[in-house]
Amino acid sequence: MGVPSIIEIKGLHHVYRGHDGDTYALGGVDIHIDEGEFVAIIGRNGSGKSTLAKHLNAILLPTEGRVLVMGMDTQDARLLWSIRQTVGMVFQNPDNQIVATVIDEDVAFGPENLGVPTPEIAERVDAALKQVNMMPYRNHAPHLLSGGQKQRVAIAGVLAMHPKLLVLDEATAMLDPVGRAEVIDTILALRSAAKMTTVLITHHMDEAVLAHRVIAMDEGRVVTTGTPAEVFSQPELLESLGLDVPLAAKLAKELQRSGLPLPDGILTAAQLVNALCQSS
Amino acid sequence: MLTNVTLGQYFPGASVAHRLDPRTKLGMSFAYIMVLFIATSWLSYSVLGLASLLVVWLSQVPVKMVLRGLRPILMILSLTVVLHVFTSREGVELVSLWFVRIYSGGVRQGFLLAFRLVLLVLSTSVLTLTTSPIALTDALEVALRPLRRFGVPAHELAMMMTIALRFIPTLLEEAEKIMKAQLARGADFESGGLLKRAKSLLPLLIPLFISAFRRADELAMAMEARCYRGGEGRTKYKILKYSSLDAYAVASFVVISAVALAL
Amino acid sequence: MTIADGEFVGIIGQTGSGKSTLVQLLNGLLKPTQGTVTVGDVTTTDKGVRLRPLRQSVGLVFQFAEHQLFAETVAADIAFGPLNLGVTPDEAAARVDEALLTVGLPLEMKERSPFELSGGQMRRVAIAGVLAMRPQVLILDEPTAGLDPRGRDDVLARISALHRERGITVILVSHSMEDVARLVNRLVVMHEGGILHDGSPREVFRHAESLATIGLGVPQATEVLRRLRLAGWSVPAVALTLAEARQFIVEAWRERGGGA
């Protein structure tokens, strides 16, 4: 055993039972996520990526297959709260996950639920607010913050529970570019400061390229997985899944076809320009 | 438009009245109302009235804001006075004009009751003006705790109040947005009779309800994801603490009430 | 600022730059504190101005427009606008069909509840609800926010076709430089309640530095060229599409003796 797995998913199926028939959301998913990893899950709406996210902290339970969080089976009801403490979730709508009327009270909500002693809650709240750079807003009312600030508060609320894994379920989908940048910068800062294991679910490919590993999903299955360079060097496949390819990657491919000697795996404008300068 | 509505009318500050523990304030307000109902003489009311003015002065809240709280009850006040003045048959007959007969007892009763109402509203508005909604919610939870054994869900009620306070501005903002969207589609919320107006509100109310339910659903999930499982085993981030200030306040209150009732 | 009949105008700017206020001024939802807004021959601040005809001619699709859906069926929701304008039920029904086809939804969807649809479909129903009023000017406030790439491309293609085929004046408020670069023929950049730039996308994206100071970017294709120029390549400053960028780079590369 090398690095321990934080998430181990084996043969996961999920079926939503509705009154007008069943909907198959996940059809046999096998994924593992190791400690310290940064994984992006991409896929269009309805590809099953959000259903998958909700299995990571036992909001949904498998119809078939198993989900293990640090070895804890999500089907074991006795482990529910340890699993949820281990996996922190940030959701899509910034307005619908802040509970309290004051920011610091909201960050304290999780630790209060866990029964953390009062003096320690205060420490955790301060530390979490500092980590997301929201300390100056601690006494503000949530409805006066921008979308990006609200999502940072939501991240702080999760961090105060001392999770092992941070899951962002389309947490940037409703934000403007500034808000998105705030959230992504916060994640990158957490990664460099605390090596926080992160799962980022998104349909913004410029966010996915920042991860170590990309998992592309469609129709409830994993279609391809690999480093961003590996995944985004298949523009035809991604486009058939209804996804974007970063323009720099696509342009590099086209330039290769026009006969320019460029290496594979170019993802950003900076990489492309570097490669071009070396090629001539 | 709608977002200009001020709610909970909390007036932030650091006065003596603000610094009191919310439980003390809630308890004293409650006791004050009881004293108001026990007191009967004008002298008692004068003492209680003076005490109220003292508290308003101590709270450093602009008098205008305190008086604004009285505006909605003006109708009730006038009605109270009028009803008593014209219907009571106690005391000495003061005026006798055609069928109108006014007795001294009625006048006395009417004005006493009105005065009692004014003081009652005054004390509760000072309470809400000097106590943040969240502190008030905490105090309510403590106040309701003894009733838990009778099945009153103290923690759940307090949590509901917190969430309501949290989402009122969000929903108001949303209502304004939907209203504008429907206006842009040629909706008319203002003209027509009562029935037509009520019907014209549907394109505003239905999306608002749907949104509220969707928000409730998502919030519930987010709360569960953060390990919320009711009040059992929960600790508190901000613990309410009594200070010597509370002791002085309660002592003064007891003395003033005793004097008022003795007179 | 004047917008001519038949233009396709993009408006970009940070949240709070005044974009939303501007579009609401255009159909009389907001009235100017100072100055005037005239649409056709209607000035919104005139005494006794009738706002309904104005709102008919200027259709406004709000951000997350699916939140305004309310009726029991898709057809009833789309017909809400036309019926408010006083058209006959038959005419409204005809407009429902037309609007559904315009946004690319099947007519069988008419009798379904709008709340059973997917997010992307709901967004289109909401847009159809505005189109059914037959506006001469269509204003869309971030019509693709929150949609996935395929949904976004579909909606934008429909809007673009509307402008091309029917000559409707379109004003598109967007955060995406890629989208406006591809679609509009005039771009207005707003900052702190004023207009910072106004011109064709090619002219506006020349000002990469000035845009960066107010927190806006340029299209990726332009960004690649900008970096190449900094590295000493002689390429044009602006490319609006991938094909353009490819052509410029290949030409410059050959000039530099690459591939020889």
Same domain, C132 and C184: yes
Question: Where are any strands of DSSP class E within C44-124?
Answer: 58-61
Same domain, A206 and A271: no
Q: Quote the number of domains for chain B.
A: 2
| B178 with C84: Cβ contact below 8 A | no
Mean pLDDT by 10 residues, chain B (263 residues): 49 86 92 89 89 90 82 85 82 76 82 88 87 84 86 87 87 92 89 83 93 94 93 85 90 90 83
Same domain, A232 and A250: no
Domain extent for B263: 1-131+239-263
- For C175, list phi and psi in degrees, rounded to 5: -100, -10
* Cβ atoms of residues A228 and A266 within 8 Å: no
Residue B133 distance to chain A (closest CA, Å): 8
Same domain, C202 and C244: no
Same domain, C81 and C159: yes
Residue B65 lies in a domain: yes
pLDDT digits (tens, 9 = 90+) for C106-146: 999 999 999 989 888 999 999 999 999 999 999 999 999 88
What is the per-residue pLDDT for A92? 94
| A98 with B166: Cβ contact below 8 A | yes
How far apart (Å, rounded) are the C-alpha atoms in residues B174 and B211? 9
Same domain, C187 and C89: yes
Q: Quote the number of domains for chain A.
A: 2
Asked if A91 has any chain B CB less than 8 Å from its own CB, the reply is yes
- Restricting to A residues 126-155, those with a Cβ less than 8 Å away from any Cβ of B are 141-143, 154
Q: What is the pTM of this model?
A: 0.87
- For B198, list phi and psi in degrees, rounded to 5: -60, -40
* Cβ atoms of residues C221 and C242 within 8 Å: yes
Same domain, B5 and B105: yes
C239 interaction partners in chain A (CB closer than 8 Å): none
Q: For residue B185, give the nearest of C67, C115, C130 by CB distance.
A: C130
Touching C: which chains, 3+ CB pairs < 8 A?
A, B
Residue B138 lies in a domain: no
Q: For residue C62, give the nearest of B177, B187, B206 by CB distance.
A: B177
| C224 with A173: Cβ contact below 8 A | no
Q: List residues bridging with A39 in a β-sheet.
A: A199, A213
Mean pLDDT by 10 residues, chain A (280 residues): 80 87 88 95 91 94 95 94 96 93 92 95 96 93 92 97 96 92 96 94 92 95 94 90 90 91 90 88
A81 interaction partners in chain B (CB closer than 8 Å): 227, 229
Give me the tens of pLDDT residue by residue for chain C, a chain 260 residues long.
899 999 999 999 998 888 989 999 998 899 899 998 988 888 888 888 888 888 889 999 999 999 999 999 999 999 999 999 999 999 999 999 999 999 999 999 999 999 989 888 999 999 999 999 999 999 999 999 888 888 899 999 999 999 999 999 999 999 999 999 999 999 999 999 999 999 999 999 999 999 999 989 999 999 999 999 999 999 999 999 999 999 999 999 998 876 55
- For A263, list phi and psi in degrees, rounded to 5: -75, 165
Domain extent for A259: 246-280
* Cβ atoms of residues B179 and B131 within 8 Å: no
What is the per-residue pLDDT for B1? 39
Residue B109 lies in a domain: yes
Q: Quote the number of domains for chain C.
A: 2
Q: What is the DSSP string of chain A?
A: --SPEEEEEEEEEEEEEETTEEEEEEEEEEEEEETT-EEEEE--TTSSHHHHHHHTTTSS--SEEEEEETTEETT-GGGHHHHHHHEEEE-S-GGGG--SSSHHHHHHHHHHHHT--HHHHHHHHHHHHHHTT-GGGTTS-GGGS-HHHHHHHHHHHHHTT--SEEEEESTTTTS-HHHHHHHHHHHHHHHHHH--EEEEEES-HHHHTTSSEEEEEETTEEEEEE-HHHHHT-HHHHHHTT----HHHHHHHHHHHTT----S---SHHHHHHHHHHH-
How far apart (Å, rounded) are the C-alpha atoms in residues A170 and C94? 39
Same domain, C21 and C82: yes
Same domain, C199 and C239: no
Same domain, B213 and B250: no
CATH number at residue A40: 3.40.50.300
What is the per-residue pLDDT for B75? 86
Domain extent for C257: 219-260
C24 interaction partners in chain B (CB closer than 8 Å): 180
Asked if C146 has any chain B CB less than 8 Å from its own CB, the reply is no
Nearest CA in chain B to A103: B166
How far apart (Å, rounded) are the C-alpha atoms in residues A46 and C120? 11
Chain C contact probe: residue of A203, A205, A239 with most C CBs at under 10 A: A203
Residue A156 distance to chain B (closest CA, Å): 12
Same domain, A204 and A238: yes
Asked if A64 has any chain B CB less than 8 Å from its own CB, the reply is no
Same domain, A78 and A56: yes
A-B contacts (CB, under 8 Å):
94
Q: List residues bridging with A200 in a β-sheet.
A: A40, A168
| C70 with B206: Cβ contact below 8 A | yes
Residue B144 lies in a domain: no
| A100 with B236: Cβ contact below 8 A | no
Residue A10 lies in a domain: yes
Residue C227 lies in a domain: yes
- Restricting to B residues 162-201, those with a Cβ less than 8 Å away from any Cβ of C are 174, 177-178, 180-188
B188 interaction partners in chain C (CB closer than 8 Å): 84
| C84 with B210: Cβ contact below 8 A | no
C62 interaction partners in chain B (CB closer than 8 Å): 177, 180-181, 184
Residue B188 lies in a domain: yes
Residue A5 has which token pair? 């797995």
A57 interaction partners in chain B (CB closer than 8 Å): 225
Residue C26 lies in a domain: yes
Residue A235 lies in a domain: yes
| C150 with A174: Cβ contact below 8 A | no
Touching A: which chains, 3+ CB pairs < 8 A?
B, C
Same domain, C187 and C127: yes
| B210 with C115: Cβ contact below 8 A | yes
In this structure, which long-range contacts are made by residues B202-209, counting pairs with CB atoms below 8 Å and at least 24 apart in sequence? B202/C70, B203/B178, B203/C68, B203/C70, B203/C71, B203/C80, B204/B175, B204/B178, B204/B179, B204/C70, B206/C70, B207/B178, B207/C67, B207/C68, B207/C69, B207/C70, B208/B171, B208/B174, B208/B175, B208/B178
Touching B: which chains, 3+ CB pairs < 8 A?
A, C
How far apart (Å, rounded) are the C-alpha atoms in residues A59 and B226? 11
Which of A25, A32, A89 has its CA nearest to residue A57? A89
Amino acid in the structure at residue A273: V
| B226 with A110: Cβ contact below 8 A | yes
B204 interaction partners in chain C (CB closer than 8 Å): 70
The H or E element containing residue C156 is helix C149-166
Q: For residue B170, give the nearest of A121, A143, A157 by CB distance.
A: A143
Nearest CA in chain B to C27: B184
